[in-house]
A and B are shown apart, each in its own frame.
Chain A
Amino acid sequence: MAQGSSKAGAKSRERDVFSGTPTPSSTKRTGRRVYMVAGGVTKFAKAHPDMDFRLMCKKAFDKARSEVPNLRMDDIDGTRISYFSDHFSRQLKAASMVQDFLGLNPRGSVRIEWGGATGGECFQAAWEAIASGRMDTCLAVGYETMSRVQTWKGNEFIALASDVNFDFPLGGFYTGYYALMVTRHIYEYVRKTKFANIKDEREAQRKATEYASRVMAMVSVKNHRNALHNPYAQYPKDLTLDAVLKSEMVSYPITREDICTMSDGAAATILCTEEKAKEFTDNPILVKGVGCGTDTMRLADRPFGKVLLMPHEKASDYANLEYPGVHSFRAGRAASIEAYRHAGIENPNKELSFVELHDAYASSEIQTYEDMGLCRYGEGYSFVEQGDPFLKGVDYGFPVPKAGTTPVNPSGGLIACGHPVGATGLMQAVLAYWQLQHTIGKNFGSEKLQIPNAKRGAIHSHAGTGSSVTVSILERVRP
């Protein structure tokens, strides 16, 4: 047994049950086909002093409506409204005030909250409303106003989304939790492989972390530089690897530039049936698959079991891996498996044109490549070094030989776009929608981020320390 691995592994191998069994049956999918026909976002910003949450939602909604002039207010059957924390707006039942402000009473509506995955969950709630036959057209709109408290107080509010008995009082700080996770990820996948020949444990781990930090910095540079061409992004930056590595250490080994910021912003999407979609647009986007997964609230409760396999993987690939432990996101894996199965995807890296994923940290972007099956577990760092998740035609200041294979966060992701929690997952839907419509040029004023012939994209929304994750697959309909 490798050093640093306890009896945990030995015991857990006695029973497979510890890895959980998310095996959604494909026969469950009998619902109606659901299309996205419009999307709108406000610019994400540190603060929008001139707009409260209601007006931000209104602006995002009106932007979405402007894309579909044939859609009248009467066409909207109801809404799903998302925001994460009542603490930030100091207003309970704020979703009712959004519904009210948009002039959508007395239609049906419900507020969605699911931590960091709030926006992604809201999108899927709207999908369900259509697929089930309950509505023909549904608005999903979400927001967060995080500027309403001081930054470190905001961090505290977010940390209250960790177990307040066992986790929060230790120093409740999400960057700290993610640093714990990536430290183990580096140990499993870098220390044990690339630096296996170094005898001194401390030295080997420091070398492994130095290597991994550089790869995390590459992800940060990618997302910040992509965002230079996205006018909705909060923090576009012409960063260099060196600048990321030298930025302030927040929680070892995660630096300031590896982390998303707090934001104000709103996003809206309109989903409907095929029949309605034909009335509204000649360029609808099909929501081809949805998936959702969960894991324990506390990191410390995660099992050390077996990997949930995707069709392109074999159990023997991971014979010695204890999974998920604290290094991988089983919820992201489960959500991906469900969504891919629903959409008929067998090899995501080959079949997806791009991915917009929840990069709250550069580290979690790398972990998520593996959870989503874009590469195997353990290959996240080399996936970056080879250049797979980079865009062709954007200068990153270092070579990216396989750029364009599966661009990840072409928009700039959370790290550079910002993360107004309740809007974030919906923002991803809007940006993916424009990618698949091939209207990035029109919406961004530049074709730079348009992925040529984008056919199918995945959006990934992630909460807590990975306690809930949604993955949705969007597909272009027009040839």
Chain B
Amino acid sequence: MSTPGSVKGASGTNNNEGGKGKMGGKKELKRTSKFTEVQEALGKDGAAIFVDKKGTQNLYIDYPYHVNYIHSYAQDSPFFLGLAEGRLRGTRCEGCKYTYATPRTYCQFCGGEAKWVDLPLVGKVHSWTTCHYGSEAFLKETPYNLVIVEFEGANSVLLSRLKGCTEQDIYVGMPLVAKFAAEPKYLITDVWFEPAPGAVKK
């Protein structure tokens, strides 16, 4: 975490103690009635003044925040380790005869422990979309396709990325094959789906 108010030019010497008007060594803050200009000025100067309709000054500062989490996959770990081996692992509750394509280590119906099982590496589109925007972390990847995949023999489904085709090609029911990253990043994106050979109309 970093501290707030990293106002560039705000620290350092100030020879104009107690004086008003021009502050020695200090940069004049941007004053604006446009909110977008406040945002731009914060990026440059670390602070800005929004002047509202009544003429009141509202002081804004840039306030950064960054954390590296020590994130454990814990009981979900076998799924992510499986992706690194090119395996797609779900779970199954024998009591309920229910197979989870997105693994749940305990059954949502009976509460019993579910066992790890391998899923087929082929499936079908249950639903899909093409994202032309995304949240900040994924904006640079747009457009990308999201897909919900259904598998023969599984009761629930799996959310994934769909590559190797565009918005015009995709339809509910389209046959898919699973693909795995050669270099695992240990993220859900280590697996994705592509249309089965011949599924995309030429």
Contacts and interface: CB of A to CB of B under 8 A. Distances in A.
Bind each other: yes
Interface of A: 3-8, 11-12, 14-15, 17-18, 46-47, 49-50, 90, 147, 150, 152-153, 155-156, 158-159, 164-167, 169-173, 175-177, 179-181, 183-184, 187, 191, 201-202, 205, 248-254, 296, 298-304, 326-327
Interface string B74-103: 001000100000000000000011111110
Contacts of A304: 155
A315 B134 CA distance: 40
B158 interface: yes
B63 A300 contact: no
A8 B156 contact: yes
A167 B56 CA distance: 44
B65 A90 contact: yes
B185 to A, nearest CB: 9
Contacts of B172: 3-4, 183-184, 187, 191, 201, 205
Most buried by A among B127, B151, B187: B127
Contacts of B158: 300
Interface string B56-70: 101010010100000
A170 B146 contact: yes
Given A6-B126, A165-B188, A302-B156, A171 B134 contact: yes
Contact of B157 (A8, A175, A202): A8
Contacts of B188: 165-167, 169-170
Nearest to B125: A4
B98 A176 contact: no
A153 B129 CA distance: 21
Nearest to B4: A90
B137 interface: yes
Most buried by B among A147, A164, A252, A253: A252
A176 B155 CA distance: 23
27 contacts: A4-B150, A7-B155, A8-B155, A11-B97, A11-B99, A11-B155, A47-B35, A49-B58, A50-B52, A152-B133, A152-B134, A152-B139, A165-B80, A165-B188, A166-B188, A167-B188, A169-B189, A170-B159, A172-B134, A173-B131, A173-B135, A175-B131, A180-B127, A180-B128, A248-B132, A300-B159, A304-B155
A252 B96 contact: no
B50 interface: yes
Contacts, number: 185
B76 A165 contact: yes
Most buried by A among B54, B63, B137, B154: B137
A46 B38 CA distance: 13
Nearest to B72: A165
B127 A326 contact: yes
